[in-house]
């Protein structure tokens, strides 16, 4: 909460208090003034508030209304005697004392402001309120140095390292002293744990050049565990998960009741990161949380999730360590172990464990593991075992996977039928898009089988791009020009363009051939667009322009025209490069 919003919160509480039973007439008296104020008629609103205060000198809502309207009208001196009169009638009123300080600040009378604040502080020697309101009043007038001195005076007088730390943290942030703000937030969260979420949100806005200094201020040697946890959250927000975990881990002590909550919050925040680093530290946090909460209903599930996250983060050693340390016989642990075996390329053992009769692994987990195992067998090139891994699964994703297996075998007709049954469904949108694109290619091919094309696509699926490009070109050569050859050549060209390096010349040659042959399909305009993109990417925008203009003029009804126009604008310099 900013300094200004704190003052607004106090005013809101005062207004709420004034509306309690027995004081309804006060709210009714100033209602017309508030409506006039909202419509911008400040002088008329001030008149209503003045009338109310004359009949009820301690009407705080009316006095606050005068504070707002007279400030706009540049008539603040008129408010001071009214506030002094009200405070004399109610000397213990926190709201009236705060208002008096703000009026002196608005009148630019810092000496009087300080004298009033010190008298208030003397009457309540253990309270932070006088120093807080003194500093806030000065900060609202952008008198930063004076506001800082007021807060520090309160800290020195009352003692306590965290006294008025939140106010000082927000003040330093407003003036751009991010390192000092971080130091004060560290003090604040050490004293008030509930301030951590607000502190992390505030410090996350620090400009990039200040990240190192802010981070050091939070996790410096001797920093409290809560300060380090704040530092960990801020580092996570900045996309530095490894540094964040290094900051958090030393604070995790089993005897500390705050540790499980800190771990859970850290894991939730890390879930927003999609990098391998992010997955890994989330897995580490979940595993530690599961250890601390051993025996709780969620520990087993958290441990399995930790294994998955560690695998996604590329840390097989840590994933195995989690499983070996907890030889649970429940289905969650069994499923996590099979997933680890697949990730570790121990497919035979994974297949054996998955085939073993067990009621512990849920049907959904078993289906997901079968699909993962099938994909791993495809990557190994073993299509028969990939088919066996899917067993009798009739889900959309399994049907689609069988379609890919049929395609890699060269059974184009069977693949097409499987893709049609699967349709554009499933939880993975990218997979559905890939199926749709492959269906468009297969529709151009009249033959029901093509072992050459299947083998080429399998090579591509296994990650060997260079060999796949050559194999796709050989497969294309066996197809008619208007019967799939251009579409397969286009795929080869797209793979070559993505590969880059010395394969870019191959891509350009393929795109050139497709464009020269032309025809009714989508391959020619797609090839010309990809050709132009490649030229623009390599800084040859001038060469891309005629290709894009040719595409737009030659294929005006093509779905590629809108994108071609955007690339053309960029090529001509109308759109800055991102």
CATH number at residue 119: 1.25.40.10
Burial of 235: CB neighbours in 10 Å, binned 0-12, 13-18, 19+: buried
Which tokens is 1 given?
A: 């909460």
Q: Is residue 37 within 8 Å of 68, Cβ to Cβ?
A: yes
Among the three residues 159, 175, 190, which one is the final residue of a domain in this structure?
A: 159
Q: Is 59 within a domain?
A: yes
Burial of 60: CB neighbours in 10 Å, binned 0-12, 13-18, 19+: buried
| pLDDT 10s digits, 72-98 | 999 999 999 999 999 999 998 999 999
Residue 576's SS3 state is coil
Overall domain count for the chain: 2
Whole-number pLDDT of residue 115: 95
Whether the per-residue pLDDT at 51 is higher than 70: the answer is yes
Q: Is 95 within a domain?
A: yes
Whether the per-residue pLDDT at 529 is higher than 90: the answer is yes
Query: Cα–Cα distance between 266 and 286 in angstroms, integer?
Result: 9
Whole-number pLDDT of residue 23: 43
Whole-number pLDDT of residue 22: 40
Whole-number pLDDT of residue 5: 41
| pLDDT 10s digits, 115-140 | 999 999 999 999 999 999 999 999 99
Burial of 205: CB neighbours in 10 Å, binned 0-12, 13-18, 19+: exposed
Q: What is the mean pLDDT of residues 176-204?
A: 94
Q: Is 268 within a domain?
A: no
Whether the per-residue pLDDT at 327 is higher than 80: the answer is no
For helices 299-312 and 331-343, the axis angle rounded to 10 degrees is 10
Q: What is the mean pLDDT of residues 217-230?
A: 93
Query: Cα–Cα distance between 244 and 239 in angstroms, integer?
Result: 9
Give the residue numbers spanning the domain of 530: 444-571
Residue 449's SS3 state is strand
> Backbone dihedral region of 464: left (phi > 0), alpha (psi from -120 to 50 degrees) or beta?
beta
Q: How confident is the model at residue 8 (pLDDT cuts 50, 70, 90)?
A: very low
Whether the per-residue pLDDT at 9 is higher than 50: the answer is no
Which tokens is 34 given?
A: 């508030």
Among the three residues 159, 181, 212, which one is the final residue of a domain in this structure?
A: 159
Query: Cα–Cα distance between 390 and 89 in angstroms, integer?
Result: 84
Whole-number pLDDT of residue 332: 67
63-79 exposure pattern, b = at least 16 Cβ within 10 A, e = fewer? bbbbbbbbeeeeebeeb
Whether the per-residue pLDDT at 16 is higher than 90: the answer is no
Whole-number pLDDT of residue 116: 93
Q: Is 312 within a domain?
A: no
Torsion of CA 146, 147, 149, 155, to 10 degrees: 170
Whole-number pLDDT of residue 316: 85
What's the Cα-to-Cα distance from 30 to each of 19, 41, 83, rounded to whole Å? 12, 14, 17
Q: Is residue 469 within 8 Å of 495, Cβ to Cβ?
A: yes
Residue 411's SS3 state is strand
Alpha carbon of residue 434 to chain centroid: 27
Among the three residues 159, 183, 201, which one is the final residue of a domain in this structure?
A: 159
Q: Is 530 within a domain?
A: yes
Torsion of CA 441, 445, 447, 448, to 10 degrees: 30
Q: What is the mean pLDDT of residues 99-118?
A: 93
Whether the per-residue pLDDT at 217 is higher than 90: the answer is yes
Nearest to 274 by CA among 239, 304, 243: 239
Whole-number pLDDT of residue 356: 77
Residue 159's SS3 state is coil
Which tokens is 488 given?
A: 């397969």
Q: Is 564 within a domain?
A: yes
| pLDDT 10s digits, 244-274 | 999 999 999 877 888 999 999 999 999 999 9
Whole-number pLDDT of residue 326: 64
Query: Cα–Cα distance between 441 and 491 in angstroms, integer?
Result: 9
Q: Is 288 within a domain?
A: no
| pLDDT 10s digits, 364-421 | 888 888 899 999 999 999 999 999 998 888 888 899 999 999 999 999 999 999 999 9
Residue 10's contacts (CB-CB under 8 Å, 6 or more residues apart) are 95, 98
Whether the per-residue pLDDT at 172 is higher than 50: the answer is yes
- Average confidence score pLDDT of the chain: 88
Residue 243's contacts (CB-CB under 8 Å, 6 or more residues apart) are 215, 235
| pLDDT 10s digits, 351-377 | 887 887 765 778 888 888 889 999 999
Q: What is the mean pLDDT of residues 57-83?
A: 94
Q: Is residue 121 within 8 Å of 127, Cβ to Cβ?
A: yes
Which tokens is 21 given?
A: 């039973």
Q: How confident is the model at residue 576 (pLDDT cuts 50, 70, 90)?
A: low
Residue 103 parent element (H or E): helix 94-106
Whole-number pLDDT of residue 307: 85
Q: Is 468 within a domain?
A: yes
For helices 165-174 and 129-140, the axis angle rounded to 10 degrees is 10
Q: What is the CA radius of gyration of the chain?
A: 35
Which tokens is 312 given?
A: 């996604």
Q: What is the mean pLDDT of residues 201-227?
A: 94
């Amino acid at each position: 909460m900013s300094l200004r919003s704190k003052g607004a919160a106090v005013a809101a509480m005062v207004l709420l208090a004034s509306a309690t039973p027995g004081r309804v007439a006060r709210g009714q008296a100033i209602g017309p003034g508030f409506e006039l104020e909202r419509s911008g008629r400040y002088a008329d609103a001030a008149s209503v508030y003045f009338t109310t205060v004359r009949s009820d000198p301690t009407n705080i809502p009316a006095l606050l209304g005068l504070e707002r309207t007279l400030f706009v009208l540049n008539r603040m001196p008129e408010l001071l005697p009214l506030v002094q009169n009200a405070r004399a009638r109610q000397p213990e009123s926190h709201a009236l004392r705060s208002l008096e300080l703000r009026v002196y600040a608005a009148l630019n009378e810092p000496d009087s402001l300080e004298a009033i604040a010190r008298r208030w502080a003397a009457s309540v020697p253990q309270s932070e309120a006088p120093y807080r309101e003194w500093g806030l009043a000065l900060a609202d007038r952008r008198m930063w140095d004076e506001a800082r001195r007021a807060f520090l005076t309160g800290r020195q007088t009352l003692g306590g390292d965290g006294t008025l730390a939140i106010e000082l943290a927000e003040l330093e942030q407003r003036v751009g002293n991010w390192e000092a703000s971080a130091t004060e937030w560290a003090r604040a969260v050490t004293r008030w744990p509930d301030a951590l979420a607000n502190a992390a949100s505030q410090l996350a806005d620090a400009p990039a050049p200040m990240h190192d200094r802010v981070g050091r201020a939070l996790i410096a040697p001797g920093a409290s565990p809560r300060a380090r946890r704040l530092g960990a959250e801020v580092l996570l927000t900045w996309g530095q998960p490894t540094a964040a975990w290094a900051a958090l881990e030393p604070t995790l002590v089993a005897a500390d009741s705050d540790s499980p909550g800190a771990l859970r919050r850290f894991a939730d925040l890390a879930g927003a990161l999609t990098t391998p680093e992010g997955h890994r530290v989330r897995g580490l946090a979940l595993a530690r949380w599961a250890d601390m909460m051993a025996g709780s209903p969620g520990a087993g599930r958290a441990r399995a999730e930790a294994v998955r996250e560690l695998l996604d983060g590329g840390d097989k050693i840590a994933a195995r360590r989690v499983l070996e340390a907890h030889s649970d016989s429940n289905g969650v642990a069994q499923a996590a172990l099979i997933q680890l075996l697949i990730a570790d390329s121990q497919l035979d053992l994974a297949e054996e464990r998955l085939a073993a009769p067990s009621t512990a692994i849920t049907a959904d987990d078993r289906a997901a593991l079968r699909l993962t195992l099938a994909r791993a067998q495809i990557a190994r090139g073993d299509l028969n075992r990939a088919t066996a891994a899917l067993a009798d699964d009739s889900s959309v994703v399994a049907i689609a996977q069988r379609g890919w297996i049929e395609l890699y075998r060269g059974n184009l007709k069977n693949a097409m039928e499987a893709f049609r049954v699967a349709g554009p469904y499933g939880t993975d949108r990218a997979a559905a898009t890939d199926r749709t694109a492959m269906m468009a290619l297969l529709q151009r091919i009249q033959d029901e089988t093509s072992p050459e094309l299947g083998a080429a696509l399998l090579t591509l699926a296994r990650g060997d791009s260079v060999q796949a490009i050559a194999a796709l070109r050989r497969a294309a050569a066996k197809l008619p020009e208007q019967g799939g050859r251009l579409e397969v050549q286009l795929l080869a060209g797209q793979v070559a363009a993505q590969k880059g390096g010395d394969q870019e010349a191959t891509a350009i040659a393929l795109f050139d051939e497709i464009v020269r042959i032309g025809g009714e399909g989508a391959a020619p305009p797609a090839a010309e667009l990809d050709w132009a993109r490649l030229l623009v990417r390599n800084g040859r925008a001038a060469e891309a322009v005629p290709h894009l203009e040719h595409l737009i003029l030659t294929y005006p009804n093509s779905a590629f025209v809108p994108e071609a126009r955007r690339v053309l604008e960029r090529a001509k310099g109308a759109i800055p490069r991102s």
